Chain A
Amino acid sequence: MSRPRVPSAMMCRLRGIGSVWLAAAAGSLCAPAVAWPRAPAYAQTDAEPATRLPLPVEEIDAPERLEERSRAGVAVSIRASFRDSLTGWSTAAAVARGPWSVGATVRYGAGAEPRAGAVEIGHAGSGLHAAAGTVDVRGLGVLFGERLGLASRAARLPSVRAGSPIVGAPGSGASSEFEGVSASWIAAPWSRTSRKGDAAGIYAFGVRRREEDSHGERARVAAMGAAFAIGPSTVASPSVGVRGGSLAASVSLRTASAAWDLGVETLAARDGFSTLADAGVSAPPFRWRGRWRFRAGETRPAAGEVVAEAESRIARVVVRASGGASGQSGAVERREVEGRIGARRGLGPLSFRFGRTEATGFTAADGFTERRERYAVLDLTVARGGGRVFAVTATRRARENEDGMKAGTSAGGRLGLTWRRRGRLEVRVEAVRAEPGASAWSSGVYAGGATALRSRTRPGVAMSARGEVRAGSWTLGGIVEGREDERGRQATAATVWIEKGIPFRQRGNDTR
């Protein structure tokens, strides 16, 4: 009898992105005995999941992963992207026989010539997994991943990750910068208090960049590590890796109880020790969390964040204050209030985010620069019923620098339609206004189900739609985005996908 697989971790982590779509999809598509590895939290910031408000794309680490769709439980998928014409397409397939499963992914350019591919083999009972080809590495320790060049620096301080990473075929064509091989063994979650995605196991992988960098080199990276439980509520994960001849070693530790949790990651490399720590206390109706990071060898090595949250039956408020480095020599400070007011019946809830950032920096071209920005993001659900939800949205960014104050504003709405749990459609429309020299935000929808804010510098009207319909084990979905600026110039992009799921049984229920 096969060991039940750990369900996808995306359901918890995606709340910070601001969409419930993929969480629901991941929950419904989780399946055992498939080669596709569990996808840990590719989404970025471990921001407190207070609201469904989207984050700016520039604050999301690995934004290219927003286009990825969960392949858990998917036997066959075909996906194509268009921007005025076909720009690329991909196919993926998995076959399961007993406890073994094999999956393959191939991506093509505008024609039928393959550009990249990967093969994955898994054994459901033992948790063994191997991958080769164009792969993506996710779930490494924060500092460890940055050091190896496998993860970008997050704009917001993340929480410590302790567990086995996942190496497998990327879910979209935009996130496959590496090719190589990997092998891993991942067990079930180490305890009931562990966060979804923290699992014991061992891993090893070796990859290199698919394209040359500015020095004409293709960086090679290799790493190995393990994750194991210490007692009933603690997990530790030591790792060692090498990139371009530079050795790095990391140890991550997470421990938790019902009322608190603590995580620490320490990285040792050529230029010294770096540390990331986060701790949280839960005393309803309040929750507090602090994060601190120290990067050795940098001009501004320290960064910190303090978060306070209060929640009642009808309201939830999060106050966040952070500061740290920006770029090579700059600094950025942020103060933010985010929350939700109102019940989920009738008018409301109102989700809001107000914030202020102050950034300083120094460039050879401009010398010392200082910029202050105030921003607001609002989302008010006006009405719901009969499988429909209508909400209005608004954003404003006001930037102040040496040239004065410039502002950008957007306003619009979103309409959500669902049909008997078999189909859903989300339509967004926005009008954007931006003063010369300013930028505004407009909502961007992604194939992975998330929504993020994109910067726009020209006024115009934008419309986007994302939909999916299910018939039996088949799913047909797509995204269409269109934008027109004040001069009538149009830009249109679309992505469509067809997927066939694998029927599965979970806890004795047929959930096809």
Chain B
Amino acid sequence: MIARRGLLALAVALVALGLSHVTDPAHAVAAFELRDASPPALGAVSLDRDADPWFEDDARRGLSVRASHAALYGVEGLTSEQAAGSFRTGALRLDLAQTQVGVPGIREGATRLSMREGGDRAVSLSLTLERLVLSLEGEPPRSVWALGAGVRGHARVRGIRGEVSLGADRIVRSGAPGREAVTPALPWAVRLRSGSASLEIADRWEGDGRTSPRLSLDLRAGGALALRFGRGERPGRTGAAAALRVGRIEVSVGRQDDEFGGTVSAVAVALVPGGPKR
């Protein structure tokens, strides 16, 4: 048991070390902290949370699916893949996503089910249930269940639409060993929308006192082209991403560069619903 726990700790450290690109252990990413390495997340320099959609008409009813692949920090074999589906009906949206990251032999996997209320409400709620699995070659997988919640408030001030969101990320966890490797956090964001542009200011307060403020700008050209630029601190990082939509097909690319020279690049393909807006 002690040997297995030590191996687990070593495996978690190896994955985290790979993600931290060695040069600055102070900015090492904790286990399961890389949540989304898709292009919209890279553009928003926010690998630690689910990315907001590109286009506002992503509120269309129906089913959408997407898949992405990301190469992480130039480490051979260190990749992240994600497959996700969303179903929107009425005032509710369900998201199911499967994400994995790591190198052959050591991989983190996350299955995430989210329920979110629609944006017409002044105050909308969301609930997220995750199963986080650490797989080591030759060892039985270790899993942790985590529950989180969020609230989003909408306001309008002089023609500018504002959104303030606050989350209680992984506030309840169960599962041993491994529970201690997953820490709760308080992500928050303020987004201002005006016309075809929106600006987001966000941060994430970790349970150990770390913060990671970031700023991202979205520019849209109708319903076909979207650009996203982002800048973050602690660690310093810059992101850019673009999405092109033709009919129901959406292709996006993105890249994030951090202050230590590490680079994450990704490509994604999505099939968006063509149904009426809710």
Contact = CB atoms under 8 A, between A and B. Distances in A.
Contacts of A219: none
B75 interface: no
* A interface SS class: strand
A148 interface: no
A433 B123 contact: no
Interface stretch (B160-168, B225-233, B255-263): B160-168
B223 interface: no
Nearest to A383: B153
Nearest to B180: A488
A384 interface: yes
Contact of B123 (A386, A430, A486): A386
Interface string B128-153: 00000000000000000000000111
> Which of B121, B151, B152, B171 is packed against the most chain A CB atoms within 10 Å?
B151
Given A413-B166, A429-B171, A390 B153 contact: yes
A413 B188 CA distance: 10
Contacts of B123: 382-386, 388-390, 415
> Which of A346, A384, A429, A486 is packed against the most chain B CB atoms within 10 Å?
A429
Interface in B153-199: 153-157, 162, 164, 166, 168, 171, 180, 183-186, 188
A193 B16 CA distance: 69
A119 B205 CA distance: 50
A230 interface: no
Interface string A332-349: 000000000000001100
Interface residues of A toward B: which range?
20 to 34
> Which of A385, A415, A434, A485 is packed against the most chain B CB atoms within 10 Å?
A415
Contacts of B209: 433-434, 459, 486
Interface in A450-487: 459-461, 463, 482, 484-486
A137 B212 CA distance: 51
Interface string B19-38: 00000000000000000000
A359 interface: no
Contacts of A411: 186, 188, 205
Contacts of B125: 415
Interface in A373-398: 382-386, 388-390, 392
Contact of A429 (B153, B157, B166): B166
A386 B91 CA distance: 14
Contact of B186 (A346, A415, A461, A482): A461
> Which of A430, A431, A459, A463 is packed against the most chain B CB atoms within 10 Å?
A431
B122 interface: yes
A411 to B, nearest CB: 6
Contacts of B155: 346-347, 382-383
B186 A484 contact: no
A382 B153 CA distance: 6
A68 to B, nearest CB: 29
Nearest to B171: A463
Contacts of B185: 431, 461
B205 A392 contact: no
B207 interface: yes
B157 A347 contact: yes
Interface in B111-128: 121-123, 125
Interface in A302-339: none
B208 interface: yes
A461 B151 contact: no
Contacts of A430: 186
Interface in A413-464: 413, 415, 429-431, 433-434, 459-461, 463
Nearest to B121: A386
Nearest to B168: A429
A412 interface: yes
Contacts of A392: 164, 166, 188
B63 to A, nearest CB: 27
Interface residues of B, number: 28
Nearest to B211: A433
A461 B157 contact: no
A415 B153 CA distance: 10
Nearest to A459: B209
Nearest to A391: B153
Contact of A384 (B122, B207, B211): B122
B207 A382 contact: no
Contacts of B151: 390, 413, 415
Contact of A346 (B156, B166, B171): B156
A434 B209 CA distance: 8
Contacts of B205: 411, 431, 433, 461
Contacts of B208: 459, 486
B184 A382 contact: no
A388 B162 contact: no
A384 B205 CA distance: 25
B151 to A, nearest CB: 5
> Which of B121, B180, B186 is packed against the most chain A CB atoms within 10 Å?
B186
A461 B121 contact: no
A338 to B, nearest CB: 23
Contacts of B122: 383-386, 388, 390
> Which of A383, A389, A430, A484 is packed against the most chain B CB atoms within 10 Å?
A383
A347 B161 CA distance: 11
Contact of B162 (A347, A460, A463): A347
Contacts of A382: 123, 153, 155, 164
Nearest to A385: B122
A434 B211 CA distance: 13
Contact of A485 (B121, B162, B186, B207): B207
Interface in B55-87: none
B167 to A, nearest CB: 8
B207 A461 contact: yes
B207 A486 contact: yes
A388 B153 CA distance: 10
Nearest to A428: B168
B207 to A, nearest CB: 5
Interface of B: 121-123, 125, 151-157, 162, 164, 166, 168, 171, 180, 183-186, 188, 205-209, 211
28 contacts: A346-B157, A347-B156, A382-B153, A382-B155, A383-B123, A383-B154, A383-B155, A384-B122, A384-B123, A388-B121, A388-B123, A389-B123, A390-B152, A390-B153, A392-B166, A411-B186, A412-B166, A413-B151, A413-B188, A415-B123, A431-B186, A433-B209, A433-B211, A459-B209, A461-B205, A482-B171, A484-B184, A486-B207
Closest 9 CB pairs of A and B: A383-B153, A385-B122, A431-B205, A382-B153, A459-B209, A486-B208, A388-B123, A431-B186, A390-B153
Given A346-B155, A413-B166, 6 more contacts: A384-B122, A386-B122, A390-B122, A415-B151, A461-B171, A461-B184
